[in-house]
Amino acid sequence: MDLFGGSKPWSALDWTSSDDRVRGGASQSYLECSTSSSIATFRGTLDIKTLGGAGFASQRTTADHTWDLSAYSGILLDLGKSDGKMYTFILKDELLPKSPNGREQSTISWEFDFKGPENDSSVFVKWADLQPTYRGREKKDAIPLDLKNIKRFSIMMRSFFGTQEGNFSLGVISISATKDRENIDTPYRDDPNEKRYTDLDSRKGE
Is the pLDDT assigned to residue 68 strictly greater than 70? Answer: yes
Average pLDDT over residues 20-41: 90
Mean pLDDT of the chain: 87
CB 4 within 8 A of CB 14: yes
pLDDT > 90 fraction of the chain, expressed in percent and rounded: 70
Q: Give the Cα separation of 197 and 131 in Å (integer).
A: 13
Q: How confident is the model at residue 181 (pLDDT cuts 50, 70, 90)?
A: low
Short-list 57, 40, 152, 33, CA closest to 96: 152
Q: Which residue has the higher pLDDT, 182 or 58?
A: 58
**3-29 pLDDT, tens per residue?**
999 999 999 999 999 999 888 899 999
CATH 2.60.120.430 fits 2-181, yes or no: yes
* Angle in degrees, CA 98, 101, 103, rounded to 5: 45
Q: Taking the model in full, what pTM does it have?
A: 0.85
Q: SS3 helix, strand, coil % of the chain, rounded to 5?
A: 5, 40, 50
DSSP codes, 146-166? -TT-B-EEEEEEE-TTTT--E
Q: Which pLDDT score is estimated for 182?
A: 52
DSSP SS3 for 132? strand
